[in-house]
Chain A
């Protein structure tokens, strides 16, 4: 009974803290702008199955991709055992889901095997991060804290997997000594039973309990650390894939407020016919965290800083300042800074800083070729170029700021209908004296 009460308290605290964190994040989302509507649910489910559960994009780098896929699939399988632990803990039961019979045996076996596979993958990840110099994990945005964040999360996952295997092995030894029936199948841990050889049954049971508590309490702690870490990814990535923009990568979202203005300019009569603009006057483009559409903030929270985007960015590869990963990290950091102040003082609150310039420089923004390699590469369908263009929109339309050559290009389009300074009269010069051979 004591165990149940302690467990219920721990769960209550976990859920309470988590609910508080989530409610804060939801309030940050309320500060952002409306974006596209989430429709086409069938297509979204398909994308989620393919990209999230099938891990198709992570496999664009097959070797290290496999290690990640094993961790992901492992988490999905092991979740079953964690749910059972919560039920057992709350109701004082032992292996309560074993009533599911064959399915239970299968899930426990899979979880046991995956615990080992995940542990091996995590060790590989840690070695890569700590001992090998992988270019992808470096860059101006990768501060010491980013590396600590990564290594702490990986270490917690490693302890989770080791405690799971220890728990399974101790369980097997305990039922063997106590003469109970074994529930579940444990193909890996059965080879670890020897760890408890020579111990009396009570102390094997104590070991089992210690592993059990370590594992579940660490899950509770991890769940509440995640939202404050880049590993929030664990919760956010599957929903982020589900909420992907489904349009072709080349399509930029239309600015309907601009359409209204342009239509008025082209047809003055429409000024009277059109209903009075009921929408509040919005800033053109993105200057600061609250100007982004909700999906960009979702992208920023889902980013795990893997750097695949930056490693394929033509600007970054050739030494320019732009790094798509940094753009996502900057948005997240800026909302973390300004969000609480806006919640306290209202959305109009101004702290004299902004995402554009104080976090992301113009030089970075103008280096983008909108080639979409970053968005193509992102394993969870983050869309960096849309946000970059949104910030360019702010610079150009609110501040009239752009590199001189681009301003000249705008002028040319306005005056002679081409980005270069040529007369429309010469549009057909190419077709002069055209001859075709007659066969």
Chain B
């Protein structure tokens, strides 16, 4: 990744070959502070993480540290770790699909609400939860889903159930809370895409005799596919890295890669193995992020990323 930054610093005065591209201007130097921040506190630390994952110990405090593949061997040999990876991906996938199903209708409503106040209110409803911390939101779901929580108490008092449903300390509770945390990202991504679909296409389909469902399935849905893909990749990338929610909502039933990583640092203090687990999670994330940027780049026609 460091290579990407090189041209930004080395080119300013150089003549530019492409006739379409104007010369690099002096303002390009303003990227400096950000570049410095990212090199020192982003690329360097990830390099250290990768390095420690192939060392037998910490070279700063130990002597005789050598290169080793032991941490990666441990990951692939013990089925516990591989199962944690599978669980992480499974929870991520289910969270993504659920977020799509829940996010799409709301995104559609937002994109089709043209009154300024209505739109602002819907946006607030989506962004307010987003700005509430994950710890706080996980707490909210604990009060709702635990044995003596709001849902179980209410169902019991109505006589609909005779004993509390097991709604948390399992994968179900984890996924419910994760969907709540990440669905806003899905909605915001989808809204942008659906909003850019020309409504006249839908009207044309309707006037040619297609009913609402068919118009949706054959016009709106295919046209919003880039948004569906981008939103899904975003939610997947975010949910596989969740730590707080699986930890508090999953109880002993759920073990994900981020939980294992913190365990290795907090309890076992095995930095090398934590690094190896980190590299595995990083590899999965990078694949997803590159796919996301491709989708976004293709969709925006290379015009803008932000």
Q: Do A and B come from one complex?
A: no
Which residues on B are within 8 Å of A, measured CB to CB?
none
